[in-house]
């Protein structure tokens, strides 16, 4: 062996990859193999490996066929993956780089290197699995985060509800006390005005106008007192089975004049039939009228007021301190009523205040700020729910849900079209007059 041959033999012996020379075809055999290759295939000796058919080292001899076809066609293969087995039967994943050669006699042979990539492939597969698992965990984490955020929002709402309820109770108690004290003197003033009116001499001139103004002011004060008392004594409900569509129609009839005056188009989107609800119809009419008037006042330059009713199925909504939560129990039927306008909506920062008694953005004489406070009180007494928010396309959207009488109770037909009625109402007493007109 020459010096150069010795150096090459040493290099081959110490390379950490399997180096081989073999012949192609079904009966192909190894002509050369370095110690790493002998070890890779768990052969007892180099001679044992050279003695076996290359095909015997394939898990699937079909793969050998594909390999040979490829190298015969292209003259080489790069990073070709093979599933091989050792002489002791242990499987391994190999990566082969090889070149096709021809000897002096014209015979074809293959020179190549084989790397055992079993561990690397397993690690890659593990990594892929871990990545998929991570992606799944990330998704689960995101969904948990979303749930947490939703719970936090609900908690904030509940807290807000509690604060509002507490504030409401103290203001309502104080106001009711004052109202009781003022009610009787006010009656005396009204009676006195009636007396003066009846006894005014014909030549009294401006006096009739002054008395009329006093009566109007006293009436308005009386209407406010009525609403304040409503906040404390509304606990007495006269509940009967009723058809919500009929209640909506009656309430719309009562604001027909106001809607016309404000050039507001009223759109009815009522369910063809609804199960009955157990409500105090007079009080729910009051709720609807307050909501309609708020919308009409917000759309003084014209707009659209939409009232819709529908049946909903949901888990029972249990009210606790003004906040609605889903309770235990199974599914129930609800009658949902929605009042929507396309007015300017309510500034975000004012939204938490609108149910407060005496909160109003309207000029004195137009709004007292009791409308929504009374609405909330009546809705609470009915163990119903109310949500007031700005609509996605502007305006205000008030959604209420009443528990249906019974899921099996027969449905009620839509009432006949409302009768048009009303006479003009003076602005200062409009709301009181509407409520009195029922
Ligand atoms: N549909 C609506 N569009 C715009 N703002 C509204 C609407 N509904 C209520 N608001 C706002 O909420 C406030 C409180 O309403 P609420 O009905 O309690 O009192 P009010 O209408 O001002 O007075 P009252 O109803 O006693 O005559 C209103 O002053 C108004 O700022
Ligand atoms: Mg109002």
- Look at residue 123 and tell me if it is in a domain: no
pLDDT digits 0-9 by tens, 56-93: 999 999 999 999 999 999 999 999 999 999 999 999 99
Mean pLDDT of the residues in the chain: 86
- Look at residue 21 and tell me if it is in a domain: yes
Of 211, 233, 255, which residue sits at a domain end?
233
Using CB atoms within 10 Å of the CB of residue 227, give its burial: 0 to 12 exposed, 13 to 18 middle, 19+ buried: buried
Among 299, 305, 362, which is best to mutate for testing ligand 1, by the most ligand atoms less than 8 A from CB?
362
Mark whether 44 and 97 lie in a shared domain: yes
Cα 171 to ligand 1 centre (Å): 18
Atom of ligand 1 nearest to the CA of 368: 26
Mark whether 188 and 257 lie in a shared domain: no
Mark whether 208 and 166 lie in a shared domain: yes
Residue 47: which CATH number? 3.30.450.20
Q: Alpha carbon of 435 to those of 66, 225, 362: distances in Å?
A: 92, 13, 20
Is the model's pLDDT at 16 over the cut of 90? no
Is the model's pLDDT at 426 over the cut of 70? no
In whole angstroms, what is the distance from residue 198 CA to residue 192 CA?
Answer: 10
pLDDT digits 0-9 by tens, 126-142: 999 999 999 999 999 99
Give the contacts of 107 (CB within 8 A, at least 6 positions apart). 23
Of 53, 87, 116, which residue sits at a domain end?
116
Q: How many domains does the chain have?
A: 3
Mark whether 85 and 204 lie in a shared domain: no
Mark whether 147 and 271 lie in a shared domain: no
In whole angstroms, what is the distance from residue 124 CA to residue 141 CA?
Answer: 25
- Look at residue 332 and tell me if it is in a domain: yes
Backbone CA torsion sign across 321, 323, 327, 331: positive
Is the model's pLDDT at 323 over the cut of 60? no
Mark whether 363 and 306 lie in a shared domain: yes
Residue 264 region, left (φ>0) first, then alpha (ψ -120 to 50), else beta?
beta
Mark whether 261 and 391 lie in a shared domain: yes
Q: What is the pLDDT of residue 321?
A: 38
pLDDT digits 0-9 by tens, 140-189: 999 999 999 998 888 888 877 777 777 667 777 777 777 778 888 888 88
Residue 411: which CATH number? 3.30.565.10
Atom of ligand 1 nearest to the CA of 356: 18
Q: Which residue range(s) make up the domain with 154?
A: 128-233
Residue 213: which CATH number? 1.10.287
- Residue of the CA atom closest to atom 19 of ligand 1: 369
Atom of ligand 1 nearest to the CA of 371: 25
Contact 336, 309 (CB under 8 A): yes
In whole angstroms, what is the distance from residue 227 CA to residue 183 CA?
Answer: 12
Atom of ligand 1 nearest to the CA of 366: 27
Mark whether 308 and 276 lie in a shared domain: yes
Mark whether 264 and 390 lie in a shared domain: yes
Cα 340 to ligand 1 centre (Å): 14
Closest ligand to the CA of 377: 1
Strands 76-85 and 91-102: antiparallel
- Look at residue 122 and tell me if it is in a domain: no
Mark whether 347 and 426 lie in a shared domain: yes
The pTM of the whole model exceeds 0.75: no
């Amino acid at each position: 062996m020459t010096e150069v041959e010795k150096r090459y033999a040493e290099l081959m012996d110490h390379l950490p990859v399997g180096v081989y020379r073999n012949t192609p075809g079904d009966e192909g055999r190894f002509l050369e193999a370095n110690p790493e290759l002998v070890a890779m295939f768990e052969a007892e000796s180099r001679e044992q490996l050279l003695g076996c058919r290359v095909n015997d080292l394939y898990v699937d001899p079909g793969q050998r066929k594909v390999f040979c076809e490829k190298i015969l066609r292209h003259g080489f293969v790069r990073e070709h993956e093979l599933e091989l087995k050792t002489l002791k039967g242990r499987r391994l994943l190999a990566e082969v780089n090889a070149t096709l050669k021809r000897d002096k006699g014209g015979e074809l042979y293959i020179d190549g290197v084989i790397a055992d990539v079993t561990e690397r492939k397993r690690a890659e597969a593990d990594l892929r699995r871990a990545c998929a698992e991570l992606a799944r965990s990330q998704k689960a984490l995101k969904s948990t985060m979303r749930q947490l955020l939703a719970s936090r929002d609900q908690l904030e709402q509940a807290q807000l509800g509690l604060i509002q309820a507490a504030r409401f109770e103290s203001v309502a108690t104080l106001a009711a006390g004052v109202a009781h004290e003022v009610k009787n003197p006010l009656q005396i003033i009204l009676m006195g005005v009636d007396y003066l009116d009846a006894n005014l001499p014909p030549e009294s001139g401006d006096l009739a106008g002054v008395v009329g103004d006093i009566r109007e002011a006293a009436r308005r004060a009386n209407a406010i007192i009525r609403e304040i008392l409503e906040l404390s004594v509304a606990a007495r409900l006269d509940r009967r089975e009723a058809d919500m569509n009929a209640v909506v129609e009656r309430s719309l009839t009562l604001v027909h004049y106001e809607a016309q005056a404000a050039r507001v188009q009223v759109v009815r989107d009522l369910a063809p039939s609804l199960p009955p609800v157990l409500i105090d119809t007079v009080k729910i009419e009051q709720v609807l009228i307050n909501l309609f008037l708020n919308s009409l006042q917000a759309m003084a330059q014209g707009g659209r007021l939409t009232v819709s009713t529908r049946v909903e199925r949901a888990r029972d909504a249990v009210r606790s301190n003004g906040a609605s939560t889903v309770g235990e129990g199974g599914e129930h039927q609800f009658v949902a009523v929605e009042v929507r306008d396309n007015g300017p909506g309510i500034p975000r920062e004012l939204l938490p205040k609108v149910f407060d008694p005496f909160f109003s953005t309207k000029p004195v004489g137009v709004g007292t700020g009791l409308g929504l406070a009374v609405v909330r009180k009546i809705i609470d007494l009915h163990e119903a729910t109310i949500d007031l928010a700005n609509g996605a396309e502007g305006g205000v959207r008030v959604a209420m849900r009443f528990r249906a009488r019974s899921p099996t109770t027969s449905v009620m037909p839509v009432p006949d079209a409302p009768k048009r009625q009303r006479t003009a109402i003076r602005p200062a007493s409009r709301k009181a007059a509407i409520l009195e007109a029922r």
